Structures are given as structure tokens and as C-alpha cells.
């Protein structure tokens, strides 16, 4: 029996076990929408802007290990999806995006709502396809899911011309895919893994540096085992938060531009770094020169060879799936009993504890004005540290990363690579749909939330009971912070004028709104929002916060990790520099 | 340093633009690029001449390998190889210039492949330097038009790029 291209698409999604797709209709995809109407295998979520469809699919994937799927129409629908696709690409999220295209005979004629989606998306996808033959449709979809999920994951776009969706063909879904030119590695090279073990054995100041790759490869338990087995200090990047429990004593906090003092110092002064699914991003090591000025050996484990040795020289590159490599590494360490040098490691820990003492994440409490950090801390208390947190981009994102110690992987959903404002709310929708019983909260700012605020309507339609924590400082706070540090307090266009009444706005969309203006009201308000009474409601909490709080510590661009701007309480403190107490060589 | 990369790539629509897009998006240089299908018509072979530090060339190679359609990449510079480029050059040839032109073409082992009353078109193959040398040897005033293909390269002897 022959079925239409549109039906082939829905059948393929069924074969792939898809349960949700996020999308927005239009002329070029109407046959696909018709096929969706006729099936009841998966649910379609109608968003209010295509960017949100892609973010929702993205967060659905991040929070569930499944593939995110989005569907948009040709032309403006496709271009609206671009920011979402780029966001997923930068964070290596497995995703398949279907875009409609004008009919094959109209392609290239500047037809109504035509845009070259394959061309537009090329730099921001793992791969993309234009389907020009109905017989290729099912095999292409099979390939797309395979490419999106294997190797270094990423978004794959399938552009489907309108006539292809309407034509009919036999439905044959291939059982497997083989692409001669695509053979992603899994296992790491055994010789290299042995070298890594030996380096750990010689290490005096070992340090584990974990990135988002560890979460994508579901290697959290291996990371935890390695760290505990050898008693190693460990940091997670912004994307790696949750890979090691944030309350584990081995965890030194996040590192990098807004990392803790102890994590940045340890990263700078360690002698052996094991980088696990992390890529020495510029927001992490700031300047490679300063970073490498300290003699250190680097082991770099990553599925993507092009991530290795891109910014820093690496002594032991290991290409492979992080989970497999760690299993092998742990195996060798157990077999051989290799351990870092005990005495040196004890000294190293002592030094780290010194760095920890001043508590670089401390902030000045207040009874008068709400500190954004305080809200995040209270949120952590009220939710028992269990919530799935999505965030937007800005100061609030950094406060969320710093003050909500994530317990487990996939609990922290944020746009790390692209830094996309407008991500938070649609991401919360995707995460909530993937985890209907979980508490999901979106930590945002008044600038970011307004970039996709129309999704409050989607939340209403699908009864998505997310809690929105708006840290409202009436500034594009992160921009203001940079203007403070680098532009002589000239706050050019970082002030948010004419803000809406967020309570009324939430109510207008049919949700619950709350405005919280004093520190004493923070906890009661949160308790109410997370109470059983409001369990099934979206609550928009507008916290009127201190206007000019800065995020500390802060490593300015081009500086070394040990040259942080520290919070006020640490500025005049006699900080013990890292001293040569044994045979370490003078490192300071 | 100048490098000459050989790339085997699936013969698919869009594959070439992915390669060139990669170079432009990441700020690498393409000095020349030649491409045609191989004896196996499902596959094309590209020769890309580029330049950059060792680190840059390593990144280019890794990024090329990352493209889904790319089957194999080798850097021909790593061992002995042969390079050829084709040039068609149209020159003014009237009166005694005609003999002079013929002699020059012979010296460079070129062939005159088109003759009119006023012009010759010479076909010349060789390394880029040889073609440059030919151009230099001529009086600029006689050169009417040139077109060059960019280098094609192949490893010497047993060194074979195949799947
Ligand atoms: C789409 C987009 N545009 C611009 C930026 C640049 N940017 C980064 S942070 C920021 C300010 C964010 O303000 P707000 O959401 O109010 O959060 P706050 O920093 O005040 O917590 C801006 C404009 C961005 N990251 N994304």
C-alpha cells in the first residue's frame, strides 16, 4: 500500500518512539499537519513562535535523553527556527528539525515563502538534507535520527518540499543505517588510556575538569566513581553541572569566568588535568597563555577529535565516548592500583581547603532589598534541591549555576554555548512535558523572559505548571555589569524601561502572578508557589531585586584564572598564595 | 606553510558547499580547489591547496573529517607527491610573434590548441611554479586571457588514497 510523504513522516516518528513534537503550521507543511491529525501515536505541541518550538524540543531532549523533534513551515517558519537550531548545535543536543519547503519545481525561483533552509542552516547543524525524491524520505529520516544521536550529537535538519509530502510511496523503514563516511568512535585507544592512568599515578596536584560531554554520554556515575576512588578534586563547567553532585565535598564548584575561587585556583595550579567531555572554552580558561604558563600535563577525553588540542596543547588525547573511556580508565586504575602520590595529594587538598575558606560565593545579605542570590538559595531549600532548573542568559543564569547545587545530570538546562536569551521559558515547557511529575522552574530576568514570553499561552493550552522565577533588576544586568567594569558605568541601553506588570500579564494568560518586593516575603512566596494548592498552575514570580548586584568572582577577558575580581569581602583579605612547600617548584 | 589536502567525499548535492562553507565559516584559506568524481562515481576527490600553521592544518583536517560526507582526508605534504595544474592561455600572435610564441610553447612543453589569425591558445600543465614561469617569460602585452584549474595532487608510488 502506498501512503503519502506526510504519513511516511508520522510513521517514521512512530518507529523512532517519538512522543512529542513541537511545531507551528504553515502552507508548506499542511499535509504533514493533516497526517498528524490522523494519528494518535505522538502529541504535537503548538508553540507561539518557531524559536520556542526548537528550544522546547531541545530541552525535552536535554532533560530526558531522548531526541527532540520540531516541525516548522518553509520561509519565515524555517528562519525563525534558526536561533533554536544554533543553540542546540553549540551544546551538541540530539535533535531532528523538519522544515517545510516550497514544491520541488518552485525551488530556486524565489517562490512565496521560499528560503534555502539547507544553505541557511548549514553552519549550525551536524548535518542537513533536502528530500527531493519521495523514495528517499524514510531512509533520510532514519539517517537523521542516527546522525543526531551518535558520535558527537547535534541537530539535523530535514527540508521537505510540499509536493514530496503530498506524493505517495511504499513505506519501508530501514532497520539500520550505514553511512560509509560516518563511523564515530566509541572506545578510546587503550594505549592512551594507560598513559592517562600513569599520569594520574605521577600526579601531585591532580584535577578533574568535567564538561557537558559527560552529561551527554551519561557518564555521571563513572565521573563520580573516578573522583571518589582516587579522592580527586573536581570541577564542573556550566554545561557539566550535575555530572558530579554539587554537594559532594570533592566538588569545588563551577570554574571559569564566574567560577569559584577554589575551582579556578585549582585549575590554574594543578599539575595533571583530566578533561572529561569539556573543551577548554574561552569562558572557562580565559587566556590559554596564562593557563598554560603553569607547567601541567593535560589528558583530554572527547568524542570529537576537533575539540581536542583546539585551544590548548594536550599531552594525552583520547578520542572516544566519555563513558566508555572512563569505564576503561577506572578498570586500569583498579587493576594496577595506580593512585596519585598520597602525601602530595594530602598537601594539595590542604591547599584547596585554604582556597575554599573565604567562601567566594558569599554575598552581603540584606533585610531591605532582595538579593538575587538569596532567591536562588531559597528556591533550592524550598524545592529540596530537586527541581529541574532551566535558565535564560545573564546574571540570573550565573546565580542559578552558582547557588543551586545540582544533584544529578540533566537537572540543569541552559544555553551554554550560544547564550541564547529567550531559551528559559520554552525550555521549561520541554522539560516539564518530558518530566510531568518533576518540579520545573525557570530562572530568568526581565530582559530574557520578554524574548519568548508569548509561550505563556502555550503553557496555558497544555497545562504546563512551570514556575517562573523572574529576577527583576530593571537592567539587562549582565550587560550593565560589563558596562560597569569596562565602559566607565556608561549604561548604554541596558536599562529596561516600560516593563509590563508581570502579575497582570501572567493573569492575562490565565496563570498565577506574584510580585515579591521584600526579603521576608521571598520564602513564603516560594512555599506558596510550590505548594500543593498551586501544583497544577503556572506561577510567575516577579522578584524585585537589588538593582546593581554584580556576579563574582569574575575573570576578565584575557586574564588568567588566578587573576579573578573577587567579591568585596575577599578584596582586602590576606589570601595565601599557592606556596611551594615541597618539591613542587615555585608556582606563584 | 602551504599544504595540499586530498579529500574523498560522497558525490552528493551540497557536499562541495559544505566544504567551502567550512573554510569560510572558520576563517581558513582556500588557495585553490579542484574536484571531480573518481573512477567510482559515487565518490568525488578534491584537492585543496591551503596554507596555515601546523595547528591550523590539523584543525582543518579534523573539521573536514567531521563532515558527514567526507570519507577520507590526507595531507599530501606528508610524503612525496606529484602536483599538476592546467592552464589555458590566450596570447596575441601576429607576424613574427607567431614563431616566437610557438618556440616558447615548445620550451615549456605546451601545446597550441587553437589558432586564429591574431591569437594562439596554449595548453600547459605542470606545477603552479612552472605555469607562473611561463607567464613571466612572456611580454605582458601579448597575454589576452588566462585560466587555470588549481592543483590536482596524488601521492607517489604505493601511497594510495582509497576507501
Ligand atoms: C538573544 C540575545 N541577545 C542579546 C544577548 C546579550 N546579553 C547577554 S546577557 C544580557 C542581559 C540579560 O538581561 P536579563 O535577562 O534581564 O538578565 P540579568 O542579567 O539582568 O539577570 C544580554 C542582553 C544574548 N545573550 N542573547
Tell me which of A55, A82, A403, A448 to substitute to probe ligand 1's pocket, judged by most ligand atoms within 8 Å of the beta carbon.
A448
Contact check, Cβ <8 Å, A122/B66: no
Mean residue pLDDT across chain A: 96
Q: Does A305 touch chain B (CB under 8 A)?
A: yes
Average pLDDT over residues A438-442: 98
Domain co-membership, B21 together with B55:
yes
pLDDT at A581 over 70: no
Contact check, Cβ <8 Å, A181/B68: yes
Domain co-membership, B50 together with B89:
no
Q: In angstroms, rounded to a whole number, what is the distance separating the alpha carbons of residues A226 and A205? A: 15
pLDDT tens column, A343-364: 999 999 999 999 999 999 999 9
* CATH label of the domain that carries residue B113: 3.30.70.1150
* pLDDT computed for residue A293 by the predictor: 86
Q: Is residue B12 part of a domain?
A: yes
Q: Is residue B9 part of a domain?
A: yes
Q: pLDDT-based confidence at A580, cuts 50/70/90?
A: very low
Q: Express as a percent the part of chain A with pLDDT over 70.
A: 97
Domain co-membership, B68 together with B12:
yes
Nearest CA among A235, A210, A179, A278 for reference residue B69 = A179
Residues of A known to be catalytic:
50, 112-113, 162, 478
Domain co-membership, B46 together with B96:
no
Contact check, Cβ <8 Å, B9/A126: no
CB contacts, 8 Å: A181 with chain B: 9-10, 68-71
Give yes or no for residue A478 CB within 6 A of ligand 1: yes
Minimum distance, in Å, between the CA of residue B62 and any CA atom of chain A: 5
> B33, B58, B78: which is the final residue of a domain?
B78
* pLDDT computed for residue A582 by the predictor: 43
What angle in degrees, to the nearest 10, is found between the helix axes of A322-336 and A190-202? 60
Q: pLDDT-based confidence at A586, cuts 50/70/90?
A: very low
Domain co-membership, B24 together with B68:
yes
CB contacts, 8 Å: A306 with chain B: 59, 62-63, 65-66
> B47, B78, B109: which is the final residue of a domain?
B78
* CATH label of the domain that carries residue B49: 3.30.70.260
Contact check, Cβ <8 Å, A122/B17: yes
Tell me which of A394, A401, A474 to substitute to probe ligand 1's pocket, judged by most ligand atoms within 8 Å of the beta carbon.
A394
DSSP B7-51: EEEE--TTHHHHHHHHHHHTT---SEEEEEE-SSTTEEEEEEEEE
Domain co-membership, B97 together with B139:
yes
Q: Is residue B163 part of a domain?
A: no
> B27, B54, B78: which is the final residue of a domain?
B78
Minimum distance, in Å, between the CA of residue A181 and any CA atom of chain B: 4
Contact map slice: A 99-118 vs B, CB within 8 A: 118
Stated pTM of the model: 0.96
* pLDDT computed for residue A571 by the predictor: 87
* pLDDT computed for residue A297 by the predictor: 96
Q: pLDDT-based confidence at A230, cuts 50/70/90?
A: very high
Domain co-membership, B64 together with B87:
no
Ligand 1 centroid, distance to A480 Cα (angstroms): 10
Q: Is residue B158 part of a domain?
A: no
Q: Is residue B14 part of a domain?
A: yes
Contact check, Cβ <8 Å, A179/B68: yes
Atom of ligand 1 nearest to the CA of A444: 15
* pLDDT computed for residue A588 by the predictor: 33
Q: In angstroms, rounded to a whole number, what is the distance separating the alpha carbons of residues A509 and A32? A: 29
Q: Which of A174-183, A375-384, B24-33 has the highest mean pLDDT?
A: A375-384
Q: Does A122 touch chain B (CB under 8 A)?
A: yes
Q: In angstroms, rounded to a whole number, what is the distance separating the alpha carbons of residues A393 and A415? A: 7
Domain co-membership, B6 together with B73:
yes
* pLDDT computed for residue B160 by the predictor: 87
pLDDT at A587 over 50: no
Give yes or no for residue A419 CB within 6 A of ligand 1: yes
Ligand 1 centroid, distance to B68 Cα (angstroms): 34
Instruction: Determine contact, residues B49/B149, Cβ cutoff 8 Å.
Output: no
Domain co-membership, B73 together with B86:
no
* pLDDT computed for residue A244 by the predictor: 98
Cα nearest neighbour of B62 on chain A:
A306
Q: Which domains does chain A possess?
A: 2-170 (3.40.50.970), 190-356 (3.40.50.1220), 372-544 (3.40.50.970)
pLDDT tens column, A195-206: 999 999 999 999
Atom of ligand 1 nearest to the CA of A446: 16
* pLDDT computed for residue B163 by the predictor: 83
Q: In angstroms, rounded to a whole number, what is the distance separating the alpha carbons of residues B94 and B100? A: 10
Domain that holds residue B74: 2-78
pLDDT tens column, A276-309: 999 999 999 998 999 988 889 999 999 999 999 9
What angle in degrees, to the nearest 10, is found between the helix axes of A134-149 and A5-15? 30
Q: Is residue B135 part of a domain?
A: yes
Domain count, chain B: 2
pLDDT tens column, B6-17: 999 999 989 999
Q: Please name the residue that has the C-alpha cell 591558445.
A: B121
pLDDT tens column, A57-81: 999 999 999 999 999 999 999 999 9
Domain co-membership, B128 together with B74:
no
Q: Is residue B103 part of a domain?
A: yes
Contact check, Cβ <8 Å, A306/B9: no
Domain co-membership, B72 together with B86:
no
Domain co-membership, B35 together with B86:
no
* pLDDT computed for residue A583 by the predictor: 40
Q: Is residue B116 part of a domain?
A: yes
Amino acid at each position: 500500500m502506498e501512503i503519502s510523504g506526510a504519513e511516511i513522516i508520522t510513521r517514521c516518528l512512530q518507529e523512532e518512539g517519538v512522543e512529542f513534537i513541537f511545531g507551528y503550521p504553515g502552507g508548506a507543511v499542511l499535509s504533514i499537519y493533516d497526517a498528524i491529525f490522523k494519528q494518535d501515536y505522538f502529541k504535537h505541541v503548538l508553540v507561539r513562535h518557531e524559536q520556542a518550538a526548537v528550544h522546547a524540543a531541545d530541552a525535552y531532549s536535554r532533560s530526558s535523553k531522548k531526541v527532540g523533534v520540531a516541525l516548522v513551515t518553509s520561509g519565515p517558519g524555517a528562519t525563525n527556527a534558526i536561533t533554536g537550531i544554533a543553540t542546540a548545535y553549540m551544546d551538541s543536543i540530539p535533535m531532528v528539525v523538519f522544515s517545510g519547503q516550497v514544491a520541488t519545481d518552485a525551488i530556486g525561483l524565489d517562490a512565496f515563502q521560499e528560503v534555502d533552509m539547507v544553505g541557511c542552516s548549514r553552519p549550525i547543524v551536524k548535518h542537513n538534507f533536502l528530500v527531493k525524491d519521495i523514495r528517499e524520505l524514510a531512509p533520510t529520516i532514519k539517517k537523521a535520527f542516527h546522525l543526531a544521536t551518535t558520535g558527537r550529537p547535534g541537530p539535523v535538519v530535514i527540508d521537505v518540499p510540499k509536493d514530496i509530502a503530498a506524493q505517495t510511496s511504499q513505506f519501508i523503514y530501514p532497520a539500520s543505517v550505514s553511512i560509509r563516511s560516518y563511523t564515530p568512535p566509541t572506545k578510546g585507544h587503550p594505549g592512551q588510556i594507560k598513559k592517562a592512568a600513569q599520569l594520574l599515578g605521577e600526579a601531585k596536584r591532580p584535577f578533574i575538569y568535567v564538561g557537558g560531554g559527560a552529561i551527554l554520554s551519561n557518564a555521571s556515575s563513572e565521573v563520580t566513581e573516578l573522583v571518589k576512588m582516587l579522592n580527586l578534586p573536581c570541577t564542573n563547567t556550566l554545561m557539566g553541572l550535575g555530572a558530579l553532585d554539587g554537594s559532594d565535598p570533592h566538588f569545588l564548584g563551577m570554574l571559569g569566568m564566574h567560577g569559584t575561587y577554589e575551582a579556578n585556583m585549582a585549575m590554574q595550579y594543578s599539575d595533571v588535568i583530566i578533561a572529561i567531555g569539556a573543551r577548554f572554552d574561552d569562558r572557562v580558561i580565559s587566556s590559554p597563555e596564562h593557563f598554560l604558563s603553569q607547567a601541567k600535563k593535560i589528558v583530554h577525553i572527547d568524542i570529537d577529535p576537533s575539540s581536542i588540542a583546539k585551544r590548548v596543547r594536550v599531552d594525552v588525547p583520547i578520542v572516544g565516548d566519555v563513558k566508555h573511556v572512563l569505564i576503561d580508565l577506572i578498570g586500569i586504575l583498579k587493576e594496577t592500583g595506580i593512585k596519585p602520590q598520597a602525601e602530595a595529594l594530602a598537601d594539595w587538598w590542604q591547599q584547596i581547603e585554604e582556597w575554599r575558606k573565604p567562601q567566594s560565593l558569599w554575598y552581603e545579605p540584606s533585610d531591605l532589598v532582595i538579593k538575587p542570590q538569596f532567591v536562588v538559595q531559597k528556591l533550592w531549600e524550598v524545592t529540596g534541591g530537586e527541581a529541574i532548573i532551566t535558565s535564560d542568559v545573564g546574571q540570573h543564569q550565573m546565580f542559578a549555576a552558582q547557588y543551586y547545587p545540582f544533584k544529578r545530570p540533566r537537572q540543569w538546562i541552559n544555553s551554554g554555548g550560544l547564550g541564547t536569551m529567550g531559551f528559559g521559558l520554552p525550555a521549561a515547557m520541554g522539560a516539564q512535558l518530558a518530566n510531568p511529575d518533576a518540579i520545573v522552574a525557570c530562572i530568568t530576568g526581565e530582559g530574557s523572559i520578554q524574548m519568548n514570553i508569548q509561550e505563556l499561552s502555550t503553557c496555558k493550552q497544555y497545562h504546563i505548571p512551570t514556575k517562573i522565577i523572574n529576577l527583576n533588576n530593571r537592567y539587562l544586568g549582565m550587560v550593565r555589569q560589563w558596562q560597569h567594569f569596562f565602559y566607565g558605568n556608561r549604561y548604554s541601553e541596558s536599562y529596561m524601561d516600560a516593563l509590563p506588570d508581570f502579575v497582570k500579564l501572567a493573569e492575562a494568560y490565565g496563570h498565577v502572578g506574584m510580585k515579591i518586593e521584600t526579603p521576608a516575603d521571598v520564602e513564603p512566596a516560594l512555599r506558596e508557589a510550590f505548594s500543593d494548592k498551586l501544583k497544577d498552575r503556572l506561577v510567575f514570580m516577579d522578584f524585585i531585586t537589588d538593582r546593581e548586584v554584580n556576579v563574582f568572582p569574575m575573570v576578565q577577558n584575557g586574564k588568567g584564572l588566578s587573576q579573578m575580581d573577587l567579591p568585596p569581602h575577599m578584596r582586602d583579605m590576606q589570601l595565601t598564595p599557592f606556596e611551594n612547600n615541597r618539591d613542587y617548584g615555585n608556582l606563584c | 606553510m602551504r599544504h595540499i589536502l586530498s579529500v574523498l567525499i560522497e558525490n552528493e548535492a551540497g557536499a562541495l558547499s559544505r566544504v567551502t562553507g567550512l573554510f569560510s565559516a572558520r576563517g581558513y584559506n582556500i588557495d585553490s580547489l579542484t574536484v571531480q568524481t573518481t573512477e567510482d562515481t559515487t565518490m568525488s576527490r578534491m584537492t585543496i591547496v591551503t596554507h596555515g600553521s601546523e595547528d591550523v592544518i590539523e584543525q582543518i583536517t579534523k573539521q573536514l573529517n567531521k563532515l558527514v560526507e567526507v570519507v577520507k582526508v590526507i595531507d599530501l605534504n606528508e610524503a612525496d607527491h606529484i602536483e599538476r595544474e592546467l592552464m589555458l592561455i590566450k596570447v596575441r600572435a601576429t607576424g613574427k610573434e607567431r614563431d616566437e610564441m610557438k618556440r616558447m610553447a615548445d620550451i615549456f612543453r605546451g601545446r597550441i590548441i587553437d589558432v586564429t589569425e591574431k591569437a594562439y591558445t596554449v595548453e600547459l600543465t605542470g606545477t603552479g611554479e612552472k605555469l607562473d614561469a611561463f607567464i613571466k617569460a612572456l611580454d605582458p602585452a601579448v597575454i589576452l586571457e588566462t585560466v587555470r584549474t588549481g592543483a590536482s595532487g596524488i601521492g607517489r608510488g604505493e601511497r594510495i588514497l582509497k576507501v
